[in-house]
Amino acid sequence: MDPQGHNPKNGTNIWMFTLEVGLFGGLIWGGIKGVFYFMRLTTVVPGFMVEPFFKSHFLKSQPGYYVGWGAFIVFSLLATLIYVLLFRKFSGPVPGILYGIAWWVILFVLAGPALHLMEPLRKLSMNTIISEFCLYLLWGLFVGYSTAHEYTDERKREPQEMSDKPQKNPLKKPTENPQH
């Protein structure tokens, strides 16, 4: 990788790629997180990550929903940066799935209850646990598989024939010279 962040093998700017995947991961899965909350599939407010900075009542309002969505986008950007820097060479969907599960464990088992961002796991409903687990699993799959496709796609690395001569079409019949 050169100092500007370009990968010489496939020309991808690592920083722009991370911004794109993180932004779209946050937009898509943060939006789905909000839908889960409004459909009552989860009791964890979308803005639980910014709970120390905003009142709980505000985070349960419509503007609070957008603040929570924004916080999820920022989280997604940072987590995608970590994934791209550390795990971009892993191929397939499994590393991304495990990454999403790891973030769910960090947020819902370790940090969330310890920082009083949410109730302990044993006090959350089974619906909330399953919904949030699946959301983070799919978000991790999105981040991981997008990255794996970009950095381990072998088709991009195959040499291409570069020639100044026009290529002959093997299916085309040769034309007869009318001057004979």
Share the mean pLDDT of the chain: 85
Structure tokens at 112: 């969330």
Give the pLDDT confidence of 96-120 residue by residue, as tens digits. 999 999 999 999 999 999 998 899 9
Domain ranges of the chain: 14-152
The pLDDT of residue 33 is 95
Residue pLDDT, tens place only, 54-100:
998 999 999 999 999 999 999 999 999 999 999 888 888 999 999 99
pLDDT at 175: 64
- 15-54 pLDDT, tens digit per residue, is 898 899 999 999 999 999 999 999 999 999 999 999 989 9
Look at residue 1 and tell me whether its pLDDT is greater than 80.
Answer: no
At 152 the pLDDT is: 74
pTM (two decimals): 0.78
For every residue of 108-129, DSSP letters joined together read: IIIIHHHTTSS--GGGS-HHHH
